[in-house]
């Protein structure tokens, strides 16, 4: 293929603006899927993904497009995940592209992830093609939104396409515009090989599948190649493209995007971001890689039943093969026993992993409230990263206590601005920007401690603005903060899994709310249960769960046996998620009580 006829691009969009629908239309219009094969959401192939409507793993599809100029083009559409937690994966997909189609919902306009994605595209020096989608909706306001794109994003809209991915209107024009808007790849087959690994995953049938963009040179089957970061060498077993099914080819030429298979055992040997070159005639320099993703949100995962510990470890190992951004290490809690401290990219990533463990591996888990990684400088000058309150050095030894903070971008309707600002201020936010993007829509930027964001900030934002807000963030750095550890005692026993790190100004209030919430969540038992909150040795709040007086079965009047059985079964099911701390049964919910106050 002459590079002149290749275009490598992504579609970027805020969630629900129609990225997947447009990708489906592309496949259909280029004849890449027959009607029988046509399935909604072709590009997302994990069950869970479909349910959540989010693309987690980057994929690519090669389409052949017969253009109006009579030429046959090869379009490589590289899929990107749409959620803020996965911005790192968006960035690495974009590194393989020369252009990005920016899809904006013509009724909703620019949202927080539209902006975040635009910044990532700019960082990668990509040309952008604005596409207004959903013009079939009566509420669409293409003119207003085009102006928004010019004013807020600073993007020229002369070549913008107005389309409906749903009806197909305008989609052909987008395919034509791609040829004009994006540059062809510039590499040459004769040059030494430089292929960027932008994704890799483990397939149970085929082994490790590596996605590459060949920038220079030609990569063929049987070639002996070297991975530049690890220096390991392999013979290539197979190369090919996704059409969208895997299709073997003889070689991937300069400018092409496709997959590579070699007998590689672990993801660690073929790192995403690394450059593949020929062993005999290597290139001088590796391609610029990308920043490694760092877990930002941490929580403890424990099996409900201690006997499942080994199963949980196996499951975590398996998940990590496909998702290197997720990390874990063994952790022991006095209250919860043996489990794992796990690090995730963000809250959604955490939820997805937890759900997959329960669903795909059939495990019952007890999870602790999410937290962040603090940076502590001790009096002796050591810097320690603390990802769990239980690892905090003695307060007397702490010289500097820092927490990560983010820059959050919020777009909201003017009527909710007051509520949104109030929420941000409550979460210790510092306002950085407040401006109108159109008549009744505002862009607000806040610096916020990540610790306050992981605790249900996003849910609260949605509820105070009745769903009319979007939110995105990136980590800015660490700032010094007046933090303190808050402990929870149940009948005098410190429950380490319930400890948390909070700002001193908020500690008393949190202690009150938390103890009263725990009182609601812990079921009454045959004896009184004292719930206390402590800062160091000082008890700062206390509630009591009063002893149970009546037998559960009493309200069945001793009559209907099937009803009795049902009740007992229900109790049993509920118990699975309980953890005994001393004599007290604590339900899973109580470990997440922090998320439920406010
Ligand atoms: P994520 O996969 O969650 O990132 O969303 P997405 O951007 O891929 O959006 P998706 O294609 O799933 O579309 C979101 C919703 O908008 C779906 O219910 C689509 O049916 C609908 N939709 C997409 N395009 C159009 C359009 O042109 N007109 C109308 N009316 N609805 C559309």
Is 222 part of any known ligand binding site?
Answer: no
| DSSP SS3 for 141 | coil
512 known ligand binder: no
Is 135 within any annotated ligand binding site?
Answer: yes
What's the CA-to-centroid distance between 116 and ligand 1, angstroms?
Answer: 19
The alpha carbon of 296 is separated from its chain's Cα centroid by a whole number of angstroms, namely: 11
Q: Which atom of ligand 1 is nearest to the CA of 133?
A: 27
Q: Distance from the CA of 232 to the center of ligand 1, in angstroms?
A: 43
Closest CA to 185 of 90, 76, 274: 76
Work out the burial of residue 444: count CB atoms within 10 Å of its CB; fewer than 13 is exposed, 13-18 middle, 19 or more buried: buried
Which pLDDT tens digit goes with each residue over 552-588? 555 544 555 566 566 556 555 555 556 677 777 787 7
Q: How many CB atoms lie within 10 A of CB 311?
A: 15
* For ligand 1, atom 10: residue with the closest CA: 18
CA of 46 to the centre of ligand 1 (A): 18
Question: What integer pLDDT is reported at residue 555 of this predicted model?
Answer: 52
Quote the ligand 1 centre to 136 CA distance (angstroms).
12
- What is the tens place of the pLDDT at every residue in 234-287? 999 999 998 877 889 999 999 999 999 998 877 778 888 889 999 999 998 888
Q: Percent helix, strand and coil across the chain, each rounded to 5? A: 30, 35, 35
Mean pLDDT (whole number) for 525-531: 85
pTM: 0.79
Atom of ligand 1 nearest to the CA of 21: 11
Measure Cα distances from 574 to 511, 566, 570 in Å: 27, 12, 6
Structure tokens belonging to residue 106 = 């013509």
Q: Ligand 1 centre from 81 Cα, in Å?
A: 14
Q: What residue owns the CA closest to ligand 1's atom 14?
A: 16
H/E/C letters for each residue in 414-434? Answer: HHHHHHHHHHHHHCCCEEEEE
Locate all alpha helices (DSSP H) within 328-373, ordered by sequence: 347-360
Q: Any binding-site annotation on 134?
A: yes
549: pLDDT confidence band, cut at 50, 70 and 90?
Answer: low
Token pair 């963009």: residue: 213
Helix (H) or strand (E) holding 366: strand 365-367
Q: Is 17 within any annotated ligand binding site?
A: yes
Pocket of ligand 1, beta carbon within 6 A:
13, 15-21, 53-55, 82, 133-134, 136-137, 164-166
* CA separation for the pair 183, 178 (Å, rounded): 9
Mean pLDDT calculated for residue range 504-508: 91
Residue 164 CA to ligand 1 center (angstroms) comes to: 10
Has 240 been labeled as part of a binding site?
no
Q: Distance between CA 398 and CA 485 in Å, rounded?
A: 12
Query: From the alpha carbon of 44, which atom of ligand 1 is closest?
Result: 2
With a threshold of 0.90, tell me whether the complex ipTM lies above it.
Answer: yes
Between CA 480 and CA 81 the distance in angstroms is: 33
E strand intervals along 118-157: 127-133
């Amino acid at each position: 293929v002459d590079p002149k006829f290749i275009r490598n691009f992504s579609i970027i969009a805020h969630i629900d603006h129609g990225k997947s629908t447009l990708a489906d239309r592309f496949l259909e219009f280029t004849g890449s899927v027959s009607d029988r094969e046509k399935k909604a959401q072709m590009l997302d192939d994990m069950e869970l993904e479909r349910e959540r409507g989010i693309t987690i793993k980057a994929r690519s599809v090669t389409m052949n497009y017969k253009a109006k100029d009579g030429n046959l083009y090869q379009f490589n559409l590289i899929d990107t995940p749409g959620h803020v937690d996965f911005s790192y994966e968006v960035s690495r997909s974009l590194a393989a592209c020369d252009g990005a189609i920016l899809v904006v919902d013509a009724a909703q306009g620019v949202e927080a992830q539209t902006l975040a994605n635009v910044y990532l595209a700019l960082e990668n020096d990509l040309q952008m093609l604005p596409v207004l989608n959903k013009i079939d909706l009566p509420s669409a306001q293409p003119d207003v939104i085009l102006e928004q794109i010019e004013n807020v994003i600073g993007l020229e809209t002369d070549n913008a396409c107005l389309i409906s991915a749903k009806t197909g209107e305008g989609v052909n024009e987008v395919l034509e515009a791609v040829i004009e808007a994006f540059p062809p790849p510039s590499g040459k087959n004769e040059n030494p090989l430089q292929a960027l690994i932008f994704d890799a995953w483990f397939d149970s049938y085929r082994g490790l599948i590596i996605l590459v963009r060949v920038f220079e040179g030609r990569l063929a089957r049987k070639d002996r190649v070297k991975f530049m970061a690890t220096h390991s060498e392999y013979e290539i077993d197979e190369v090919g493209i996704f059409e969208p099914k895997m299709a073997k080819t003889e070689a991937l030429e300069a400018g092409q995007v496709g997959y590579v298979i070699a007998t590689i055992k672990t993801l660690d040997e073929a790192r995403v971001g690394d450059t593949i070159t020929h062993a005999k005639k290597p290139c001088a320099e590796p391609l610029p890689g990308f920043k490694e993703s760092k877990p930002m949100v941490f929580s403890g995962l424990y099996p409900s039943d201690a006997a499942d510990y080994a199963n949980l470890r196996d499951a975590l190992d398996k998940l990590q093969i496909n998702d290197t951004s997720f990390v874990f290490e063994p952790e022991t809690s006095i209250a919860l026993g043996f489990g794992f401290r796990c690090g995730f990219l963000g809250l959604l990533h955490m939820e997805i992993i937890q759900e997959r463990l329960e669903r795909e591996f059939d495990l019952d888990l007890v999870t602790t409230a999410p937290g962040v990684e603090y940076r502590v400088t001790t009096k002796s000058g050591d810097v320690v990263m603390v990802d769990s309150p239980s690892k905090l050095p003695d307060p007397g030894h702490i010289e500097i206590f820092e927490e990560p903070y983010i820059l959050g971008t919020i777009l909201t309707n003017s009527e909710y601005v007051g509520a949104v600002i109030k929420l941000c201020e409550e979460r210790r936010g510092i306002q950085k920007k407040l401006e109108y993007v159109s008549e009744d829509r505002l862009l607000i930027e806040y610096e916020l401690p990540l610790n306050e964001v992981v605790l249900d900030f996003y849910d609260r934002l949605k509820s105070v603005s009745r769903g009319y807000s979007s939110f995105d963030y990136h980590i800015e750095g660490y700032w010094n903060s007046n933090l303190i550890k808050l402990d929870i005692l149940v009948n005098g026993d410190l429950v380490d899994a319930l400890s948390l790190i909070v700002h001193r100004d908020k500690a008393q209030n949190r202690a009150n709310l938390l103890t009263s919430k725990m009182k609601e969540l812990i079921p009454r038992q045959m004896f009184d249960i004292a719930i206390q909150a402590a800062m160091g040795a000082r008890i700062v709040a206390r509630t009591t769960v009063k002893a149970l007086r009546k037998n559960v079965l009493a309200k069945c009047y001793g009559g209907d046996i099937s009803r009795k059985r049902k009740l007992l079964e229900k109790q049993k099911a509920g118990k699975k998620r309980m953890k005994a701390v001393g004599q007290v049964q604590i339900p899973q919910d109580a470990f997440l009580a922090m998320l439920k106050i406010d």
